[in-house]
Structure 1
Amino acid sequence: MNRRKFTFAAATLGLGSAVYGASAFSFPSLKKRVGVVGLDSSHAIAFTKELNANTTNESYKGYQVVAAYSMGSPSIPLNAERIPKFTEEIKKLGVEVVASLDALLRKVDVVLLETNDGNVHLQQAEIILKARKPLFIDKPIANSYEDASKIFELADKYKTPVFSTSSLRYITGIEEIDKKTVLGADIYSPAYTEPSHKDLYWYGIHGVEMLFTLLGQNCVSVQTQHTTDFDSYIGEWDGGRIGTLRGIRKGADGFGGVVFIQDKIVQLGAFQGYNPLLKQIISFFETGKEPVQRLETLAVCKFIDAAHQSRLEGGTKVILNNK
């Protein structure tokens, strides 16, 4: 077997994002109850503060976080500190903290899965989707292409919509670019790692999602250069287009990049916060339409898995099998 070729089992997932009939997930106007699963992510608090403090914001359509379950992975050192802290914080925001996932599902209509451990998302998602609760999975969707594929299969099985994305898809300037004109992009992002995850799934996925937002799902190869403090990823997309990601772990960090298009070079702006993403999530809960196509989400996972393999093999170019 050619170790330079990174192959993936094909999942029978259709050609695009699924849209389920309104009867599968829509609710009477008075039912706008959001549940948060996982209090080991700062997003759990940020999303709750934004939604619950802005009940008259038309974009949020009355959705409020009413219950939370602190399920997380305390074996990750950061989470051992965060879970008790965020549990107390969310209580102060008027949210009921329940003792089990089943208890939460009885109290809510839709779910934000905020557990930051992608290794347990498949298990958690199965329970939530089986209960027919429309589901947003915060990054990462999983810690492998295989698990991400199974999550979408479960969504089809239970006829319940699910999607996952990074908030950096909505960084200033990115939506105004005509993606058909993009010739390439150089992106930078923090890329802190956690031993339980393949490198980019833990934090650098933000930068990967920016690349795929700009260049689309058809990445054909990736090559990783790794040092203790930095990573550089060179991806080739269809048409010979090049997208690069600089992953930062030392010195000043942030999100941004340069986009090369047909007639000019565009500098991306600053991270806008969570409001643009929350608008997409609420629209998804209302309509069942996935803002990010599942095939693109799976392509992100293929890229990350292949980039990890490239690092393990000393920086070899890894070919993505997109069939």
Structure 2
Amino acid sequence: MKNKNRFSRRLFIKSSTVAGIGLGVYGNAFSLSLKVASDYSQGKRVGIIGLDTSHSIAFTKVLNTHKEDSQYLGYHVVAAYPYGSKDIKSSMDRIPGYTEEIQKLGVDIVNSIGDLLQKVDVVLLETNDGKIHLEQAMEVFKARKRMFIDKPMTASLSDAKAIFEASQKFKIPVFSSSSLRYITGIEKIDKSTVIGASTFSPAELEPSHPDLFWYGIHGVETLFTVMGTGCESVSRVSTKDTDVVTGIWEDGRIGTFRGTRTGIHDYGGTVFTKTENVVLGPYAGYEPLLLEIVKYFETGIVPVQPEETLEILAFMEAADISKKQGGKSVSIKELMDKK
């Protein structure tokens, strides 16, 4: 409860109306969205924004293959808007091939987000470029459609705050998550017993994004999934091939993330609990995340609270600052309180 109250005070201080929003008020807002569910279209047509990532193809294959599977509640992809990064070459180069591939799966290609929103009930915002997520998300909010935002949620903490503010304004709950939140082994952990954790994932860099936002997010998301919110400070040791980021939680627990750019491309970690040490892995694929997404599409209940997502982004942003300052400890509170 201490953690929740602490971060409730920190979130969204841009205006007096928004300043008080925290876990409790978010819960009320999302309950409100459920209360007016009769006004919300319960169709099963999914639209994709962004064909510059392999996630778009993978998600479509799972959903459309399992259209008759009761677990996926009938949600299936019917239309996609290809764009997409405009200045990240590795992403832009994928668009033609992924566009052709998704058409073979029976998905219509449209010329704008506006056109997409006319054809679908819910949206997967898959654009690989977090810099344009706020702009794209605003179109979806204005159309009052539920939306999942894939990693990286944004390319800055400030943009993520703006997205959650818009979520409140339009009364449309939204969430973002890496599929590594559901890595094998994590479901066995009683999180109330966790005394520390060490996770790892690849952490390739993209100059247009803060270092860990681009790929390190996967291992950081795993870390917060088991540790929960309440990280107070972050320090980072960085070399050409490896990052080690250490977070100190307000109750004295320590969590570390190791990001790799050489060696085996793998994900995992160790969770230290009061009774045992639990090894995480292997990667469980996209299906566990997609099951949570379709539940959210159906109910409007988000599986990841906004303050946890914001703290994850603050952790990664603080890691960048620490790197620039030669590994000095950086306060997350200062970042969360920054306008």
Residue 117 of structure 1 deviates from its aligned partner by 0.7
2:108 corresponds, among 72, 88, 96, to 96
Give TM-score, length-normalised by structure 1. 0.94
Which residues of 2 match residues 229-268 of structure 1 at below 5 A? 229-268=241-280
Residue 145 of structure 1 deviates from its aligned partner by 1.2
Q: Which residue of 1 aligns with 2:161?
A: 149
AA partner of residue 234 (structure 1): T
Whether 1:10 aligns to 2:13 is yes
2:98 corresponds, among 78, 82, 86, to 86
Which residues of 2 match residues 174-323 of structure 1 at below 5 A? 174-321=186-333
Whether 1:162 aligns to 2:162 is no
CA separation in 2, counterparts of 1:219 and 1:64? 38
CA separation in 2, counterparts of 1:22 and 1:168? 31
**Over residues 157-210 of structure 1, what are the superposed CA-to-partner deviations in whole Å (9 max), with x where a residue is unaligned?**
111121101100000111220111100011110000100000010000011111
SS of equivalent residue, structure 1 residue 257: strand
CA separation in 2, counterparts of 1:151 and 1:75? 22
Query: Please, what is the CA RMSD of the aligned residues?
Result: 1.5
SS of equivalent residue, structure 1 residue 116: coil
CA separation in 1, counterparts of 2:306 and 2:67? 30
CA separation in 2, counterparts of 1:227 and 1:292? 32
Residue 8 of structure 1 deviates from its aligned partner by 8.8
Residue 319 of structure 1 deviates from its aligned partner by 1.4
Native 8 Å contact 1:218 1:238 kept in 2: yes
Kindly tell me the number of residue pairs found equivalent between the two proteins: 315
CA separation in 1, counterparts of 2:91 and 2:319? 26
Q: Which residue of 1 aligns with 2:36?
A: 23
AA partner of residue 13 (structure 2): A
CA separation in 2, counterparts of 1:145 and 1:319? 14
Give TM-score, length-normalised by structure 2. 0.90
Native 8 Å contact 1:68 1:104 kept in 2: yes
CA separation in 2, counterparts of 1:196 and 1:226? 18
Residue 143 of structure 1 deviates from its aligned partner by 1.1
Residue 10 of structure 1 deviates from its aligned partner by 3.3
Q: Which residue of 2 aligns with 1:56?
A: 68
Could you list the runs of 5+ residues in structure 2 that have no partner in the other structure? Answer: 1-9
Specify whether residues 304 and 220 from structure 1 end up closer, same or farther in structure 2 by C-alpha distance, changes over 3 A only: same
SS of equivalent residue, structure 1 residue 284: helix
CA separation in 1, counterparts of 2:12 and 2:248? 21
CA separation in 1, counterparts of 2:290 and 2:40? 18
AA partner of residue 259 (structure 2): G
Native 8 Å contact 2:11 2:21 kept in 1: no
SS of equivalent residue, structure 1 residue 184: strand
Q: Which residue of 2 aligns with 1:65?
A: 77
Specify whether residues 168 and 158 from structure 1 end up closer, same or farther in structure 2 by C-alpha distance, changes over 3 A only: same
CA separation in 2, counterparts of 1:9 and 1:95? 38
Identify the structure with bigger relative contact order (alpha carbons < 8 Å, sequence gap 6+). 1
Could you list the runs of 5+ residues in structure 1 that have no partner in the other structure? Answer: 1-6
